[in-house]
Structure 1
């Protein structure tokens, strides 16, 4: 290793080839220091680790009441002005000064009146309230999730924006992993194919729909039964029949099995049919059926008389055909449609596919459920897909074949659409390259919006901008096609859009906005709610105070009900003291619990920091309850559960006291005068400028334009569904592009009018965005971080051991390599359930590198978020929840997380590199200390 060219265990990095030619750059002193020279990858991951550590520290420090005082301007401090090089939070200070404070709207806020006297006072008051953390509430709070997201975004910004002085910085790229399937672009279309779409071991398809009739009292009632063919890797093929009500019951069963879990919505019941042989579907007929109250499939048993016949001919209004069937006929009212159900096979291209839209939407629903491994392995799903198998008759087999052809036609048409749209997009590449150059240059966005402000129509724009508008037209057209035609759930989404569109009174809404003065109205409403006559509480304080007080009272009632169940006032009082104790006391007790690996409740009750101390009898009672609790959680046993009841009540009491304290702290925060003052200032800063713009720009006219656009979408989609365009995919593509072309001038007029009357708001916003892009492309004005010099200085000052430090850097590089390879493998497994590859329909030109970001850094952010999402958020349980069951579910979830992340590389322990923290912080402050 003396030559300085360290070879990671997975291959020789390309920068080592440059070392010979650039050795003088690294060895400025003339001596033999090459042993302390870092390669490009080592520089990057050393910088990344130290920035990550500093970011975590700064984000965590925001919880401190004194954080803003150490921030520097515009916040005040007892020590006077805090210079940039003296700030304890250089990263957050840099982001705040250069990007938050300069954000349009906020750049007009006054330093003392807003930042110091209101925002700083409010945030410091909030920090002193010590709102409970995720660990206290046994759940992942929104604050914790937001902090993690912010932490990762700040790391991405700093890692991408701050370069290293050597210029040879390099990341681990996906091209090194060599597991990416370069020919997988069409695999995303697997989501719509009838078979071969395996999700967590299940290959499921709704193959057909048959009519069943059930005799209740006198009449026969007709139902649609959806035939589901499923294959599983552990057993063979199974065919079952399920009515719509069975799908509703499945959802209910899953909610019982996984309480608190969010499930995709069940498609609404629709009786639309489609044409016989193509993939573009249309509602063209309906049959009255009676499954609205159905909860299970109808099986052919002796107790229930069922007929199962396919609708193999076009629908007819003939009542004689129905009467000729005798006792096995189905009664219908005069508005219903009947079907000819002869024994002859269906005629291709003539008979509608009965309930076809419902079939494909239910198939999409099942596949959406099966994407979740917990649901796919659940007892409810297995029962639904395998119980009461059926067999197809000759007519049903023919119907399955017709629907298989319809599925294939749907996929083929979708492929043709994308191929044509992709070809047209490629034609724009040469123009998009010129547009890309204009945008990524300095002031590119400002120049674009300046031209939009000057020109009245798209046709007046410069050629490159016109070609960009043409690209946008293709992209929006492809998106509309994708939403309302291409997917299994498209018919339902289209129907929902039509319903919502029909309900909105656009004319009334337009006139209200045209006549009313929202600024004056909102200002008056705000004055009404925030007024404090004779210095009494405002209406807003009273409203929020009453709501929170009701919550506190409900929690207190639950606490009062629990005290007699516990039967020991000392135990209850110690729990109350812990909930109301200072952060220091609670931290000591948490550390005690972690050190001894016991439940936090045990540490609370045995702690001598909370009075009074327990007697030996009470300690024995708590210990026995804890042992019973642990056994009851690990072993489902009624006798054990009874012994664990006391511990369960105590844990519930801790949760309630914590919740009660949080609500009381929030109530106190609302009562503070600064809260109302801050709310009023934020309203004036953000709302009033926007209202002035929309009023002067006559935005109300755009409401009518938007309504006409939706009307046009409905016409075009319905025409495509009726297959008038299906014979030629070029016509389908052109129909959606023409749709966008008819309305693009109205959209341009809206942007033009808003920008024309924005009083410089758009220009300020574009300038703000360009400042961020300039930082990402060029870094801070004070230069780059010289990681080699930092490393050499740390070695010379005996701060670190160079051998150990380089070994840790290499272990970080290997971890990133293994981590990306593992996640890429997981991604490939999920690729079949992905959506269509819309990037193929876009012209080339833009990449993240144009905006100063590295693809590898974005990939790392995506991996970090994926790992963060693996830690499932726990839904809040009710006050009367069985805490033993809750704890069992929590441990099951943790076991599920461990199972899903089995084999995931674990970050190696880092100690030596963290010793460079002080040296690195000084350099980081110097780099980020620009005014």
Structure 2
């Protein structure tokens, strides 16, 4: 029979139909009331059993093939757990009718999580469904791209240190430190001031000097200005001094003169690497507060990345107020510290180059390990070796080579965390303090004689116990927390009701919140502003025509204020602002009331207790048998060793051979891998088969992704059925698929351009961070697991689009007026529209959706388990 589709067209038709089917099924299950449609073990009204594969084939397959088979819950009694506990809870939750994104005028976390899960399911099915066309599966699988390690332009990275890197149109750098003496009575006291260079795009640089106490004051001001908004943490005070050989004076003065004259044309500068090494070290020099300078630079750049904070008057005054002209000595210090930055980055690059070359030596062995991993049952075979071998020395050569590669990879990660990054000194200081505070000896002694999991089980049993049918301690705590929050909201609602002073408006809001889903949907579709839709809706509004006209005048004034226009009557603006705040608080209060009621129900606590028993019980047995106290001692040794290696690396960072530094971090990991392996082996041996079940479950997913379930999906037949029964135009279907393929390639190219632009406007540490991913993976990419690389890339694009398109920034809007919140929401919407205006537009398809019903019929037969 003639094939209607090429392999490429078939691949993308399958993907589009999978997504359409998932969207349809999610819509069917959106209110949780149709859970019985998934079929057994769920039951419908009167105990009726539905055929889930015919109505909801995708979700039924996910539930039966992956959820029910997950270790821990694969041995539960289906009726007692799924029907009596889970279904009862889900149906109770459905009755609560929690608010949606449209009600809150913001995207809820539930919706974001749901979208991510939908993308994962689409990727899973697109990869796992096998079609009758052999070439469809590999039509777009491409070999992994060459590692970027060999193509990095070292000169360009170092040259970047000369040039401004703007973050939200401001470039900032802590370029130097000066020591200033102040007289206190008869004594003089020295303190450090950090020289900050800042400039707007297109403007000359500005120099200011700030003490650490001024940084602390800035942090306090920003916390008051943005209450509730997560801000970068101010690095702790660090008075350490860095020692380094001095550079040639004449060269430093020459560079200082260039800085003073603001000659920023990089094309006129000599090669920075050659210039750096041409300096002759004359003597040892000290650089006070060098580590503090680096951490404060990282802190300021983190502040600039926040689009709200960067406009703060406090931050702008901190960066540009009290300008000064650096002295010749200060310019020399700036130049030398710039040289330290160059040397630091050059050493980091050399570190990653050496680590990468060492990893390449293991390429042959890694390829063999990959073949074993990807073979049928390969994952179980690898982990069975962990179970049977007592030590690393007994492992097969291929496994040992894999561990060597992992040691290099992890060593590079540790180096980046504790040495290479601008925030590394602060992070190391925090970890070091925590390490000193942990009572390892006492903890080891306690774990030797007790089982923490059993203790926790007893504590949680205490929290979940319901004496004489009364509420448990956990219920009382959660309800008390919710009650406190509800009381705060009730107080705010009462105050706003007094300001609104209109019982009809409040009654209309309450009627909307209590309305059915269909009524809410109809109201939302009537007007762009939800409050005006409620007020003017004949279905629920209790307003007189005169009152409606007055509120429309309020809305007009409020809308003008949001758009920045002059408003004659500010009272109207305040009145409508009160309405928006009142409605928002009523929505949130109702949600919390419903959640409180849910916690009060016996079905909720019954499910919590059952889940705890299912998941926690096996872990109690594992910890009882494994020697956990020995692992605590091994961890203490590793942390002490790590602190020693990092201190040595910090002390020698600007003078040691990068090869030696690679060796230090590699040997650090090598020394402690045997202890880690011993702990994993002990846990695995005493797990009562739990790890084997987990590996089998993962292997089942991998097998489906690579080879499907043994059945073939005939998409050509789906097209024929659509053509015969629904008059689908196959030629038009082909054109629509081709246009989607072209759009995907155009969007990917556009995304790459966007990323390149972001990278070019980010700070200098961005180039170094890319080296974290530089070590070769030897083909252990998505295609090895049956995932199409372009499909993976598109999921990543969708995730990035979600971040760009996110219109809600609730934390950033805390404390702002309703007008300002709406103004920011519209600004975010406008920014998204501007971004989309330049992005390739997804082509409209009209013929493809007609195939979904026929695709569902074919899919139900492919995913339905074969009855043996």
State the TM-score, normalizing by the size of structure 2: 0.89
SS, match of residue 351 in structure 1: strand
Cα drift, residue 787 of structure 1: 2.0
> What is the correspondence of 1:85-484 to structure 2 with a 5 Å cutoff?
85-86=53-54, 88-169=55-136, 185=152, 190=157, 194-196=161-163, 198-200=165-167, 201-214=169-182, 222-251=190-219, 261-277=229-245, 348-372=282-306, 382-484=316-418
**Against the structure 1 CA distance between its residues 863 and 189, is the aligned structure 2 distance closer, same or farther, given a 3 Å change threshold?**
farther
**Alpha-carbon distance in 1 for matches of 2:837, 2:217:** 33
Partner residue in 2 for 1:913 = 848
SS, match of residue 235 in structure 1: coil
| 8 Å contact kept, 2:554–2:576 | yes
Cα drift, residue 534 of structure 1: 2.8
> What is the correspondence of 1:827-842 to structure 2 with a 5 Å cutoff?
827-831=755-759, 833=762, 834=766, 835-842=769-776
Say what the alpha-carbon RMSD is for the aligned residues.
3.0
| 8 Å contact kept, 2:351–2:661 | yes
State the TM-score, normalizing by the size of structure 1: 0.83
**Alpha-carbon distance in 2 for matches of 1:235, 1:397:** 20
| 8 Å contact kept, 1:250–1:381 | yes
- Of 54, 57, 64 in structure 1, the residue corresponding to residue 31 of structure 2 is 64
CA deviations over 1:872-901 (Å, ceiling 9, x no partner) = 432258997521222122222223333444
Higher helix share: 2
Cα drift, residue 125 of structure 1: 0.8
Cα drift, residue 248 of structure 1: 4.0
SS, match of residue 733 in structure 2: helix
Moved more, 676-685 or 232-241: 232-241
| 8 Å contact kept, 2:351–2:659 | yes
**Alpha-carbon distance in 2 for matches of 1:179, 1:232:** 38
**Alpha-carbon distance in 2 for matches of 1:53, 1:459:** 52
SS, match of residue 838 in structure 2: coil
Cα drift, residue 631 of structure 1: 0.9
Moved more, 433-442 or 840-849: 840-849
**Alpha-carbon distance in 2 for matches of 1:869, 1:746:** 41
**Alpha-carbon distance in 2 for matches of 1:575, 1:713:** 60
Cα drift, residue 477 of structure 1: 1.3
Partner residue in 1 for 2:532 = 602
Q: What are the ranges of 5 or more consecutive residues in structure 1 without an aligned counterpart?
A: 1-27, 280-344
**Against the structure 1 CA distance between its residues 815 and 262, is the aligned structure 2 distance closer, same or farther, given a 3 Å change threshold?**
farther
Residue 645, structure 1, aligned to residue 613, structure 2:
no
Residue 922, structure 1, aligned to residue 861, structure 2:
no
**Against the structure 1 CA distance between its residues 458 and 634, is the aligned structure 2 distance closer, same or farther, given a 3 Å change threshold?**
same
Cα drift, residue 382 of structure 1: 4.9
Moved more, 918-927 or 888-897: 888-897
- Of 626, 632, 648 in structure 1, the residue corresponding to residue 561 of structure 2 is 632
**Alpha-carbon distance in 2 for matches of 1:231, 1:879:** 30
Partner residue in 1 for 2:551 = 622
Cα drift, residue 173 of structure 1: 6.7
**Against the structure 1 CA distance between its residues 523 and 794, is the aligned structure 2 distance closer, same or farther, given a 3 Å change threshold?**
same
SS, match of residue 234 in structure 2: coil
SS, match of residue 739 in structure 1: helix
Residue 488, structure 1, aligned to residue 418, structure 2:
no
Moved more, 878-887 or 853-862: 878-887
**Alpha-carbon distance in 2 for matches of 1:762, 1:917:** 40
Residue 882, structure 1, aligned to residue 791, structure 2:
no
CA deviations over 1:576-595 (Å, ceiling 9, x no partner) = 221222222222211222xx
Cα drift, residue 648 of structure 1: 1.3
- Of 799, 819, 830 in structure 2, the residue corresponding to residue 895 of structure 1 is 830
| 8 Å contact kept, 2:229–2:812 | no
| 8 Å contact kept, 1:270–1:355 | yes
**Against the structure 1 CA distance between its residues 397 and 876, is the aligned structure 2 distance closer, same or farther, given a 3 Å change threshold?**
closer
SS, match of residue 875 in structure 1: coil
- Of 722, 740, 746 in structure 2, the residue corresponding to residue 794 of structure 1 is 722
**Against the structure 1 CA distance between its residues 346 and 497, is the aligned structure 2 distance closer, same or farther, given a 3 Å change threshold?**
farther
| 8 Å contact kept, 2:39–2:52 | yes
| 8 Å contact kept, 2:454–2:620 | no
Moved more, 578-587 or 248-257: 248-257
SS, match of residue 69 in structure 2: coil
Report the count of equivalent residues: 825
Residue 727, structure 1, aligned to residue 662, structure 2:
no
Partner residue in 2 for 1:551 = 485
**Against the structure 1 CA distance between its residues 530 and 258, is the aligned structure 2 distance closer, same or farther, given a 3 Å change threshold?**
closer
Residue 812, structure 1, aligned to residue 779, structure 2:
no
Partner residue in 2 for 1:315 = none
| 8 Å contact kept, 1:172–1:856 | no
**Alpha-carbon distance in 1 for matches of 2:503, 2:718:** 60
CA deviations over 1:68-124 (Å, ceiling 9, x no partner) = 2000122122363333542x2211111111111111101121101111100111011
**Alpha-carbon distance in 2 for matches of 1:442, 1:218:** 82
**Alpha-carbon distance in 1 for matches of 2:480, 2:403:** 53
**Alpha-carbon distance in 2 for matches of 1:876, 1:264:** 14
Cα drift, residue 386 of structure 1: 3.7
**Alpha-carbon distance in 1 for matches of 2:500, 2:307:** 39
Moved more, 108-117 or 183-192: 183-192
**Alpha-carbon distance in 2 for matches of 1:378, 1:162:** 52
**Alpha-carbon distance in 2 for matches of 1:674, 1:602:** 39
Residue 676, structure 1, aligned to residue 605, structure 2:
yes
**Against the structure 1 CA distance between its residues 422 and 826, is the aligned structure 2 distance closer, same or farther, given a 3 Å change threshold?**
same
Q: What are the ranges of 5 or more consecutive residues in structure 2 without an aligned counterpart?
A: 248-278
Residue 825, structure 1, aligned to residue 760, structure 2:
no
CA deviations over 1:799-831 (Å, ceiling 9, x no partner) = 322343333222212221221111011122233
Cα drift, residue 133 of structure 1: 0.9
**Alpha-carbon distance in 1 for matches of 2:233, 2:59:** 41
| 8 Å contact kept, 2:245–2:281 | no
> What is the correspondence of 1:701-740 to structure 2 with a 5 Å cutoff?
701-723=630-652, 726-740=655-669
| 8 Å contact kept, 1:228–1:385 | yes
| 8 Å contact kept, 2:645–2:665 | yes
Partner residue in 1 for 2:267 = none
| 8 Å contact kept, 1:165–1:786 | yes
Cα drift, residue 798 of structure 1: 4.3
